[in-house]
Chain A
Amino acid sequence: MTTYLIRRVAGTIPLLLGISTLIFFVVHLAPGDPTSLYWSEDTDPEVLRLMQHNFGFDRPLPEQYFRWLAGSFRGEFGYSFGHHRPVKDVIRETLPNTLILSAAAMVLIFTIGIAAGIVSAVRQHSFIDHAVTLLSFFFYSMPGFWFGLMMLLIFSYHLHWFPASHMTSLPFRYDQFSFWEKGVDRARHLALPALTLGLGAMAAVSRYTRTSMLEVIRMDYIRTARAKGLSEREVIVRHAFRNALLPVITLFGLYLPFLFGGAVLVETIFAWPGMGRVAVNAIFQRDYPLIMAVTFLSAALVVAGNLIADVAYSWIDPRIRRGEGREP
C-alpha cells in the first residue's frame, strides 16, 4: 500500500511540471497584451510600454519562464497585474472559498445521489423509482447557467428563502452575529450555489448507483446472504452497497475537475468570491502570473482528486490492495 502510494505521488511530479510548462507557453503565445487593460484615449501608448517593461513582459519568453519556475519552487507566484499584489495573496483568499463550495457540492452529490440511487434500485419499478429517475434526467439535462438563474428566481427573488449572493450578509451586520447565527448565515448563503453546482452530478451519481446496485443485487452472494437469513437491511447495507460503491468512487475523481469548471459559472451567478471568477478575469486581462498560478493549482487539484479516488478504490476493494508490488 505505502509503495503504491509513493509511486503514485512521485508520478504526479513530472506530470505537473509538464502541465505547467505547457500552460506557460500556450498562455503567452495567445495574442493580446496585459497592459491593454489600461487602454484609453488619455493613456499614452508609451505608458503602456513602460508598464510592460516594469512587469518584465518585454523579456524573452524562456527567460520569463525560468523566472516563473524558480519563483514557484519558492512558493512565489509573482505579482498579479490586475490585483496589484502578490498572486499568493489572491490565491490564499479565493481558493478556500472554491474549496468550500466544491466540498459542499461533493457532499450533496454523494450523499443524496447515492441514497437516491439505492432507494431507486431496491424499490425498482415502484413509484419512487420512477420519480427519482424522472428527476434525475431532468436535473442532469439542465444547463448550469439556466438552472442557477431559476434557483435564484424561485428561491431568492420570489420566495425569499435564501440570499441571492455572497458568502455572508453585509459585513457590518455579520460581524455582530453570534457564533451560531454566523453558521446559519453561511449555510444559507451556501445553499443555492452548492445545489446548483451539485444537482447535475448528483443526478448522475444516483443513476450510476442504481445501475450498479441492480447488478449487485442479482449476484449469487446476495442470494446466499438472504438465504442465511440476514435481514434485508443488512443485506443491502453490508453486502450489496459496499460492492456497488466501486464504480461510484471512480466518479469522485472524475467530478473534481468538473466541479471546478462549473464553479466558474456558479461563482459568477451567485457572486461567490472563488478562484474560478478570479481565473476568468485573469484570462481576459492577460494577468499572466495569476493565470499560471490558478491553472497550475487546478491541475494539481485534479491530479490530487484522482489520487484520492484511486486510494479510496484500493481501500474499498481488497483485490487492488493485494495487487501492490505488481504494476498498479
Chain B
Amino acid sequence: MRTALSLYAATLLLLLAAAGCTDRGEREGKSAPARGDSLDGGTLVVGFDADVDALSPLVTTTSSGSDVYGEIFASLVRTNPDMATYSPWLARSWEFSPDHKSLTFDLRRDVKWHDGVPFTAYDVEFSIPLYKNEQIAFGSIRWLDRITKVTAVDSFTVRFDFDSVYPYQLTDANVGRPLPKHILGDVPVEKIRNDPFHRSPVGNGPFRFESWIPQQSIVLAANDDYFEGRPHLDRVVFQIVPSRTNLISQLKTGEIDFYPKLPPHAYREFEDDDRIEVKRVPSRVYYYLGWQLANPLFSDVRVRRALTMAIDRESLVKSLLFGTGRVIDGPILPFLWAYEPDVPHIPYDPEGAKRLFAEAGWTDSDGDGWLDKDGKRFEFRMKTNENNDLRKDIVVIVQEMLSRVGVKLHPETVEWTLFLEQTTAKDFEAMCHGWRQGIKVDLTSIWHSRSIEDRYNMVSYSNPAVDRLIDKAVLEKDRTRAKKEWSEVQKIIAADVPYTFLFNIDDLYAIDRRFRNVKLITYAWTYNLEKWYVPPDERRYGDDGS
C-alpha cells in the first residue's frame, strides 16, 4: 500500500534532500570537498524490496523510484526538513512580483547536465508544459493548474505566472523538476511517456545514472561536476530483493548496507547489533478505522466515540508495531507545521463505552452478549486489503476488543485494487485504511463535504463549520492565522470522530554503522545522501570496483 499511496512521495519526496537552514553555510561554503579528499570513496548498497517503474520525475510513480531519481535530478529549490520552507538549489534566489502573481527564479550559472551541456532557464521553460500535458498525465499534474505560463527571461532567469494568489505557489512551481531540453526537446509529446530517457536518465543532481538491470540493481555514480561539490560516496547501488527474509539476511551478512523499510517485527532483532543500527523516524503515514457516516449504524457521534473508547490503541502500537509508532487523535501529523497537539483525546475506557452505547440506545436486551436496538444486533463488516498484514492484524484485534463491549465485527479482506475501488465508491460499512500525508497542508480532499462526491471523503463526513474553515485556511498566506484555522479544523474533526485515528508509524531504517553523517528525516531518507561517507579503512569495494 505504501508504494501505491506514495505518488505523493514520488513527486515530492525527491524535492527533498533539503538542506536545513543551518546546513546551508556548510553546503555552499566550507564543505564541498575537493576530489581526493579522504572522505571521498566507498559504495553504499541499498536494499529495495521492489523494482522501480522508471527513473524520471515526469513518469515515475513508485516512491522508491522517486528516491532514486531525486539523486539524479535537482529541483529549483530544496524543501527544508520542516517541510514548510525552502533553500536554494538550482535557483540561487527567488522573488514574487508586487501583486504576488508571478515568481521569478534566478538560476545558478554553474550547473551542467550529466552529459556536459549547461543547464539554463530554457530547460525550465521547456519542462513545465510537459508536466502540465494531459496526455502524459504526470501524477501531480493538478498542482500545476494555477501556473499559467513559464517564461525564460534570459538564460538564467525564469518567471512563473499564476492565475491567483495562494500559499503554495512556490511549492507548485517546484513540483516539476527541470528536464534536459537538448535531449527531450525533439521527442513528440505522445511518445514522451515511453521514451528510453526515463530508463537511462540524464540529470543534473549529485549522482549520475550508471546502470539499471531490471529486477536486479540500479547503480548511481558520483557526479564529479556536481555544482555543490562531489558527493562523498563513489557509488550508490540499489539491490532489488523482493523477499524480506532474504533482504534481512543479506543485511546481517553485510551484503546490503542500508534497508529503508525494516518491518517493525525485525526492529528488536537489531537492537544490540554491533554493526547495524536501526534509526527510527516518524513517517508520514497514519492508520485509521473509517466509519461510513451515511450508514445509520454510525451516524450517531456517541456511537463512534464509544467504538473508539472500546479500542485500546496504545496496546495496538505496543503489540503490532513493537512500540515503533504513536497514537494520534487528529487528521494532521506532528511533522507538519499546522499540527495541533491539543485536540480532544478519547481514552481507552470499555466501561465508559458501554454507558455511551446505552445512551445511544444500544443495550444487550436479549442477554445474548451482543448489543441490540429495536431488535437489531450491533454488527457490521470491516473491510481492509489483502497484502497488508498490519491492517489485517488490526482488524482481528479490534474485532476482539469490540466483542468485549458487545459489538460484533466481521472482518473482510479484499484485494488491493478492488479495495480502493470499493472504498472510493463508499461501498463499505467500516474500513481499516491508511493515509500518507502530503507536505501541503490541505484537508480539502479528505474532509471537505465537496469531496464526498468525487474525491477521498470516503466516510461521507460533512460539517459546514469544517468546510468554511478549510476554504478559508487554504487561501491564507499568513501562516500564523492559517495555523489557527487548521487547529480549529483538527479539533472539530477529532470531536466528530468520523475516523477512529489509530497511529502514526515510524519508518525504520537499518544501516551499517560504517556510514557516517547520515541524517534521516521524515521528508525522505535521501535528505543528505551526498554528504554520507565511509572512513577509508572501512570501505568495502575499491575505487576500481574490485
- Chain A interface (Cβ within 8 Å of chain B)? 31-34, 36-47, 50-51, 54, 79, 82-86, 90, 93-94, 149, 152-153, 156-157, 160, 163-168, 170-173, 175-176, 267-271, 273-274, 277-278, 281, 284-286
B129 at the interface (CB under 8 A from A): no
Q: Which of B53-61, B120-128, B308-316, B512-520 is found at the contact surface with chain A?
A: B53-61
A44-B142, A45-B454, A164-B249 are known contacts. Are A286 and B242 too (CB-CB below 8 A)?
A: no
The chain B residue sitting closest to A167, CB to CB, is B216
Q: B446 contacts which chain A residues (CB < 8 A)? A: 41
Chain B 262-304 residues near chain A, CB threshold 8 A: none
Identify the interface centre among B135, B243, B445: most chain A CB within 10 Å of its CB: B243
User: Given contacts A94-B215, A165-B239, A268-B243, is CB(A40)–CB(B253) below 8 Å?
Assistant: no
Name which of B1-9, B86-94, B346-354, B529-537 contacts chain A.
B1-9
Partner of A271, one of B246, B445, B545: B246
List, sorted by A's number, 25 A–B pairs whose CB atoms are closer than 8 Å. A33-B421, A34-B417, A41-B5, A42-B8, A42-B143, A42-B445, A44-B455, A47-B137, A50-B141, A54-B135, A83-B53, A84-B194, A85-B194, A90-B214, A152-B245, A160-B253, A163-B255, A164-B253, A170-B43, A173-B541, A176-B544, A270-B246, A271-B240, A271-B242, A277-B215
- The verdict on B424 contacting chain A, using a C-beta distance below 8 Å, is yes
> B436 at interface (Cβ–Cβ under 8 A)?
yes
Instruction: Say which residue of B193, B249, B417, B421 sits within 8 Å of A156 (CB atoms).
Output: B249
B252 interface residue (CB < 8 Å to A): yes
Determine if B413 is an interface residue (Cβ-Cβ < 8 Å): no
Chain B residues with CB under 8 A of A83: 53-54, 214
Interface string of B116-150 (1 = CB under 8 A from A): 00000000000000000011010111110000000
Contact B53 A41 (CB under 8 A): no
Give residues of chain B (443-457) contacting chain A, Cβ–Cβ below 8 Å: 445-446, 454-456
Q: Which residues of B contact A (CB under 8 A)?
A: 4-8, 11, 43, 45, 50, 53-54, 59, 61, 134-135, 137, 139-143, 193-194, 196, 198-199, 210-211, 213-217, 219, 235, 237, 239-243, 245-246, 249-250, 252-253, 255, 387, 415-418, 420-421, 424, 435-438, 440, 445-446, 454-456, 541, 544-546
Minimum CB–CB distance for B187 against chain A, Å:
14
Given A273-B215, A284-B416, answer yes or no on A41-B137 (Cβ-Cβ < 8 Å).
Answer: no
Closest B residue, CB atoms, query A93: B214
B546, A166: Cβ atoms under 8 Å?
no
> Judging by beta carbons under 8 Å apart, are A171 and B4 in contact?
no
A176 pairs with B546, CB closer than 8 A: yes
What separation, in Å, do the CA atoms of A152 and B255 have in the docked complex? Answer: 14
Cβ of B61 and Cβ of A37 under 8 Å apart? Answer: yes
Q: B216–A286 contact, CB under 8 A?
A: no
Supposing A85-B194, A176-B544 touch, asked if A157 and B253 sit within 8 A by C-beta, the answer is yes
Residues of A within 8 A of B8 (CB): 40-43
Do residues B421 and A164 form an inter-chain contact, with CB atoms below 8 A?
Answer: no
Nearest residue, chain A, Cβ from B212: A171
Task: Assess whether A164 is in contact with B250, with CB atoms less than 8 Å apart.
Answer: yes
Contact of A38 (CB < 8 Å), options: B139, B211, B235, B544: B139
CA distance A67 to B167 in the complex (A): 47
- Say how far A34's CB is from chain B's closest CB, in angstroms: 8
Interchain CA distance A281-B62 in the complex, whole Å: 13
Q: Is the CB of A45 within 8 A of B137?
A: no
Chain B residues with CB under 8 Å of A173's CB are 541, 545-546
In the complex, which residue of chain A has the Cβ closest to the Cβ of B213? A171
Contact in complex: B214, A94 (CB < 8 Å): yes
Beta-carbon contact of B455 and A45 below 8 Å: yes
Q: For the complex, what is the distance from the CA of A136 to the CA of B243, rounded to whole Å? A: 27
Check B7–A164 contact: CB distance below 8 A.
no
Q: Of all chain A residues, which has the CB nearest B6?
A: A40
Say yes or no: A32-B194 contact (C-beta < 8 A), given A37-B4, A50-B137, A278-B215.
Answer: no
Question: Could you tell me the distance between the alpha carbons of A47 and B61 in the complex, rounded to whole angstroms?
Answer: 13
Most chain A Cβ neighbours within 10 Å, of B54, B135, B137: B137
CB distance from B386 to the nearest CB of A (A): 9
Determine how close the nearest CB of chain A comes to the CB of B541; give it in whole angstroms.
Answer: 7
- Nearest first, the 3 closest Cβ-Cβ pairs linking A and B are A273-B215, A32-B417, A172-B545
Chain B residues within an 8 Å CB radius of A171: 211, 213, 216-217, 219, 237
A39 touches B7 (CB 8 A): yes
Contacts of A51 in B (CB 8 A): 137
Q: In the complex, what distance in Å separates the CA atom of A209 from the CA atom of B440?
A: 67
Residue pair A41, B250 in contact (C-beta under 8 Å): no
Contacts of A267 in B (CB 8 A): 242
